[in-house]
Chain A
Amino acid sequence: MQQTITQKILSRAANRKFVDAGESVWLNVDILLTHDVCGPPTFDIFKQEFGPDAKVWDPQKVVVLPDHYIFTANEHAHRNIDLLRQFAAEQHLPHYYDVGSDRYKGVCHVALAEEGFNIPGTVLFGTDSHTCTSGAFGMFGTGIGNTDAAFILGTGKLWEKVPESIKFTFDGVMPEYLTAKDLILQILGDITTDGATYKAMEFDGEAIFSLPMEERMTLTNMAIEAGGMNGIIAADSVAESYVRARSQKPYEIFRSDPDAKYHSRYHYNVRELEPVVAQPHSPDNRATVRSVQGTKITKSYIGSCTGGKLTDFVMAAKILKGKKVSVTTNIVPATVLVARALETERFEGVTLKQIFEDAGCSIALPSCAACLGGPSDTVGRSVDNDLVVSTTNRNFPGRMGSKHAGVYLASPLTAAASAVTGKLTDPRDFL
């Protein structure tokens, strides 16, 4: 029987040879991810259901990465970190990355990759909807709630309905002005925010396999914005060398069979695409940057799991070198490793950090920060009447703070070009 890559990975996790789209199966979980917002209630449910002295099914398979509300004076947020710390100590969890220690990493989806937890062929569940990011490594990753996560903590298993797959093929050589963010915003405009509900979004084609892992993660990260259960890209030599440099674990590479059944297929030629934004207040409200060029903005924000990786900052630096920003511009590296790389990575001989400082940007400490608003003292949080151009993944009403603000989702190139002019600006004007 012919299967998609997602079916093959779920078959392996269900100890089956074949699973059909639509059937519900019990899966053995390879990694459970949680963070400071959903970890504490998950641990509460775990203790309530399995008993106060219960032990997690496998401490090696639980990864706890606080990242949401880190640099804030909010006491409730601090209490959540204390609860994570306490549970990690009680359960002897080796993969807890404590705030305020040199183990702190930053945004969980990027840190998972950097720390070698993304292994081709495996199954990852996480208490965060952007857990689908890890699909860039040829693995299954999806988000769940606290109750489901507590069930996994105790049993190592969870039921899931095997998704149908939609295939998105991108042919052609990526032009300099186009990024993975433009590709996923293009798709969202085409299929809308529920176009892939309960489905796998599989990406392939020459343009996709030419991208570095970080850019592939931008694409799979936003599968959830179309309602997708998971986003997935088969692992190739680029993925293998990234994984081998970070993990000794064995892995298995799966690929879709040539005659596997798809719900639908979409074909794009990247040469025919152009920079786009998602206008307020929905990730599918697509417009070409040219068509909204000149729209005034009040802030530019470059950060988050989808837009705060080193590749994102390299792109932003290309535009910002030697320029001055004309609106508040927040640079928020996703992780500590990315933050450090800003000091060593150079563009035309100058470090990215220097380029951003010279341009007048403010550089924040690594965390989720204002991507989801956060407590009132969060760096970059939007206020009433803000119009933000942002490399993040959601622009629902109130997402970055005030519900009387608007957010334009854009690539780091577009966010940087717009920061310079103070208006939405096509990056081709600067490249």
Chain B
Amino acid sequence: METIIQGKAYVLGKNIDTDQIIPAEHLVYSLSDPEEVKLYGKYALSGVPPEQGGLPEGNIPFIREGEFSSDYTIIIAGPNFGCGSSREHAPFALKVAGAKAIIAESYARIFYRNCVDGGFVIPYETAEELNQVIKTGDELKIDVKANTIENLSRQVTYKLSALGDVFSIIEAGGIFAYARQENLMAQS
């Protein structure tokens, strides 16, 4: 896995539910057909009410009109990110769009599990309200080993909560890779 994740911030509020991450009408596309998969990128975060996307100004879309991937790599949000449905399409869509990490104050359980076990995006937690101090478009650098995030645009570094037990699953690339590595299932 990458030990440094660098890219632009996309800032959101609290309680970003899975209907905002990928609206239910789009859940019909294949998750394996390469052409259809692109649509998950196109519609990632398309359910966020416009004024609540790309804070603090708002009205900044995650995906530009006609595009399939995002200019933003790191999502910054408040508490309870990913609440709502169990749709694994949600972290999948964020990955397809090009997001590599989320930094939120807390997560809903199923979304968090899906991020980790599916190996889609890294769900970091932070005790600080980073969505109040980081602005959409800021250049950020996450040091995976040190559990820190540096705002290169403002020269401030913040501490991230350690990933703990799930780090080894993330490092392996998901639950299947981890289970093979630990001999929890037969090699296939």
- Using a CB–CB cutoff of 8 Å, the interface residues on chain A facing chain B are 24, 37-38, 40-41, 44, 49-51, 54, 68-69, 74, 76-77, 79-80, 126-129, 131, 143-148, 151, 154-155, 193-194, 197-198, 227, 229, 282, 372-376, 394, 396-399, 403
| Contact of A397 (CB < 8 Å), options: B47, B110, B188 | B47
Let me know if B176 is at the binding interface, CB within 8 A.
yes
Let me know if B109 is at the binding interface, CB within 8 A.
yes
- Asked whether, in the complex, the Cβ of B49 is within 8 Å of the Cβ of A397, the reply is yes
Complex formed: what's the CA distance from A382 to B17 in Å? 18
Complex formed: what's the CA distance from A129 to B24 in Å? 14
Let me know if B161 is at the binding interface, CB within 8 A.
no
Let me know if B146 is at the binding interface, CB within 8 A.
no
| Contact of B109 (CB < 8 Å), options: A24, A77, A227 | A227
- Asked whether, in the complex, the Cβ of B185 is within 8 Å of the Cβ of A155, the reply is yes
A112, chain B: closest CB distance, angstroms: 15
| Contact of B23 (CB < 8 Å), options: A41, A147, A155, A373 | A373
- Interface positions, chain B 1-30, Cβ under 8 Å from A, are 15, 17, 19-20, 23-25, 27-30
List 17 extra interface pairs beyond A146-B31, A197-B108, A398-B19, CB under 8 A: A37-B27, A50-B188, A144-B110, A145-B86, A145-B114, A145-B117, A146-B88, A148-B175, A151-B175, A197-B109, A372-B85, A373-B24, A394-B19, A396-B20, A397-B49, A399-B24, A403-B23
- Asked whether, in the complex, the Cβ of B113 is within 8 Å of the Cβ of A227, the reply is no
Let me know if B118 is at the binding interface, CB within 8 A.
yes
- Asked whether, in the complex, the Cβ of B19 is within 8 Å of the Cβ of A397, the reply is yes
Chain A residues with CB below 8 A from B83, complex form:
193-194, 227
- Asked whether, in the complex, the Cβ of B88 is within 8 Å of the Cβ of A74, the reply is no
* Total of A-B residue pairs, C-beta within 8 Å: 131
- Asked whether, in the complex, the Cβ of B106 is within 8 Å of the Cβ of A197, the reply is yes
Q: Which residue of A lies closest to B116 (CB)?
A: A147
- Asked whether, in the complex, the Cβ of B47 is within 8 Å of the Cβ of A76, the reply is no
Over the window 81-106 of chain B, the binary record of Cβ atoms lying under 8 Å from chain A Cβ atoms (1 yes, 0 no) is: 00111111100000000000000001
Candidate in B47, B109, B114 with the most chain A CB atoms within 10 angstroms: B109
Chain B residues with CB below 8 A from A143, complex form:
85-86, 110
Complex formed: what's the CA distance from A79 to B32 in Å? 13
B48, chain A: closest CB distance, angstroms: 8
Chain B residues with CB below 8 A from A398, complex form:
19-20, 23, 47
Chain A residues with CB below 8 A from B113, complex form:
144-145, 148
Let me know if B79 is at the binding interface, CB within 8 A.
yes
Chain A residues with CB below 8 A from B61, complex form:
none
- Asked whether, in the complex, the Cβ of B24 is within 8 Å of the Cβ of A147, the reply is no
Over the window 155-188 of chain B, the binary record of Cβ atoms lying under 8 Å from chain A Cβ atoms (1 yes, 0 no) is: 0000000000100000000111001000001001
B126, chain A: closest CB distance, angstroms: 15
Query: By DSSP majority rule, is chain B's interface helix, strand, loop, or mixed?
Result: loop
Bin chain B's interface residue count: 35 or more
Chain A residues with CB below 8 A from B87, complex form:
37-38, 145
| Contact of A146 (CB < 8 Å), options: B80, B84, B107, B118 | B118
- Asked whether, in the complex, the Cβ of A128 is within 8 Å of the Cβ of B49, the reply is no
Complex formed: what's the CA distance from A397 to B15 in Å? 11
Give me the 10 closest cross-chain CB pairs, A-B, nearest first: A145-B88, A76-B28, A145-B114, A143-B86, A194-B80, A147-B118, A146-B88, A372-B24, A129-B86, A41-B31
| Contact of A128 (CB < 8 Å), options: B85, B107, B117 | B85
B151, chain A: closest CB distance, angstroms: 26
Chain B residues with CB below 8 A from A399, complex form:
19, 24
Chain B residues with CB below 8 A from A40, complex form:
30-31
7 contacts between A and B (CB under 8 A): A41-B31, A49-B176, A127-B86, A145-B113, A373-B23, A376-B25, A397-B19
- Asked whether, in the complex, the Cβ of B79 is within 8 Å of the Cβ of A145, the reply is no
Q: Which residue of B lies closest to A72 (CB)?
A: B28
Candidate in A74, A76, A194, A399 with the most chain B CB atoms within 10 angstroms: A194
Chain B residues with CB below 8 A from A80, complex form:
28
| Contact of A51 (CB < 8 Å), options: B20, B88, B117, B188 | B188
Complex formed: what's the CA distance from A146 to B23 in Å? 17
Chain B residues with CB below 8 A from A198, complex form:
109
- Asked whether, in the complex, the Cβ of B19 is within 8 Å of the Cβ of A145, the reply is no
Chain A residues with CB below 8 A from B17, complex form:
394, 396
- Asked whether, in the complex, the Cβ of A374 is within 8 Å of the Cβ of B25, the reply is yes
Complex formed: what's the CA distance from A41 to B185 in Å? 21
Chain A residues with CB below 8 A from B114, complex form:
145-148
- Asked whether, in the complex, the Cβ of B28 is within 8 Å of the Cβ of A147, the reply is no
Chain A residues with CB below 8 A from B165, complex form:
24
Chain B residues with CB below 8 A from A148, complex form:
113-114, 117, 175
Complex formed: what's the CA distance from A287 to B113 in Å? 33
Chain A residues with CB below 8 A from B85, complex form:
128-129, 143, 372
Chain B residues with CB below 8 A from A145, complex form:
86-88, 110, 113-114, 117-118
Chain A residues with CB below 8 A from B108, complex form:
194, 197, 227
Chain B residues with CB below 8 A from A372, complex form:
19, 24, 85
| Contact of B80 (CB < 8 Å), options: A51, A151, A197 | A197
- Asked whether, in the complex, the Cβ of A229 is within 8 Å of the Cβ of B28, the reply is no
Chain B residues with CB below 8 A from A394, complex form:
17, 19, 84
- Asked whether, in the complex, the Cβ of A373 is within 8 Å of the Cβ of B84, the reply is no
Chain A residues with CB below 8 A from B20, complex form:
396-398
Q: Which residue of B lies closest to A195 (CB)?
A: B80
If A51-B188, A193-B15 touch, whether A147 touches B117 (CB-CB below 8 Å) is yes
Complex formed: what's the CA distance from A47 to B28 in Å? 20
B46, chain A: closest CB distance, angstroms: 9
- Asked whether, in the complex, the Cβ of B28 is within 8 Å of the Cβ of A74, the reply is yes
